Amino acid sequence: MEIENSGDGASVTITNKEKEEYGGVIGSIHISSLENSESSVVDLTGLVHQLPCCIKHDGPSSVSQYFKPNKSGIVMENGISVEETHFRGRKLQGANIPLPQGYSGYVLGKKKKPIKRKTCEEEDRDSWETCARFQSITYWNHDNIPSQDDVLLRSFHWFKIANALHAPVPIDDLASVPNLSC
């Protein structure tokens, strides 16, 4: 995987070797920087929902006409308000969770490629670009009140672990570790 960080954003490219090793597709993702994309990237904070179901529809629909969450009056142990709504006759209870400091969510769309002739050596790469950004996500449970034990909230623990793993180790801490010989 190649990661390139330029002044206007970051790009991630999956190489042929990784495609063979992990399966999948070859492509690149371009995430626009915040400074250069304020006007072109839509902010969907408060509008992103993770539903506990599979919707096999890809196209426009009048979601706001039918999907109308309301405050339930219940507050979780961490102070977050619980919302409720119904989807296809089933009660959903959810909570709007802010993403951790320093993290953002992105909605990606396929970048339109100029039409050109390909040579035999050229790869068919998909290119993705930022369409929207969000700082919070509302997740929903069927019939259950959201809790700290929900999978989405537990997955947020990884952010703290990752930060600790990748943080620089102070020299004093290294000096205090005894030499280990194998």
pLDDT tens, residue by residue, 57-106? 888 888 888 889 999 988 888 888 999 999 888 999 999 999 988 889 99
Give the whole-angstrom CA distance, residue 83 versus residue 91.
11
Give the whole-angstrom CA distance, residue 18 versus residue 2.
10
Using alpha carbons only, give the angle 152, 158, 161 rounded to the nearest 5 degrees. 160
Give the whole-angstrom CA distance, residue 65 versus residue 146.
24
Are residue 3 and residue 76 in the same domain, yes or no? Answer: no
Q: What is the pLDDT of residues 118-173, one digit of tens each?
A: 655 555 667 788 889 999 999 999 988 998 889 998 998 898 898 889 999 888 88
Are residue 50 and residue 94 in the same domain, yes or no? Answer: yes
- pLDDT score at 3: 46
Sign of CA dihedral 112, 48, 30, 34: positive
- pLDDT score at 129: 84
Residue 52 covered by a domain: yes
Give the whole-angstrom CA distance, residue 85 versus residue 52.
13
- pLDDT score at 67: 87
- Domains: count for the chain: 2
Compare 19 and 7 and report the one with higher pLDDT: 19
Give the whole-angstrom CA distance, residue 171 versus residue 29.
37
Residue 178 covered by a domain: no
Taking 70 as the threshold, does the pLDDT of residue 180 lie above it?
no
Compare 175 and 5 and report the one with higher pLDDT: 175
Q: Give percent helix, percent strand, percent coil of the chain, each to the nearest 5.
A: 20, 35, 45
Are residue 127 and residue 58 in the same domain, yes or no? Answer: no
Residue 177 covered by a domain: no
Mean residue pLDDT across the chain: 79
If you ran DSSP here, which 8-state letter would residue 34 be given?
H
pTM of the entire predicted model: 0.69
Compare 14 and 165 and report the one with higher pLDDT: 165
Taking 70 as the threshold, does the pLDDT of residue 25 lie above it?
no
Q: Average pLDDT, stretch 103-118?
A: 78
Domain of 54 in residue numbering reads as 43-99+135-166
Q: Which two tokens stand for residue 76?
A: 């979780």
Given the structure tokens 């339109």, which residue do they identify?
Answer: 112
Angstrom CA distances, 97 to 54, 101, 104, 122, 168, stand at 21, 12, 12, 43, 29
Q: What is the pLDDT of residues 157-170, one digit of tens each?
A: 898 898 889 999 88
Give the whole-angstrom CA distance, residue 56 versus residue 113.
27
- pLDDT score at 65: 86
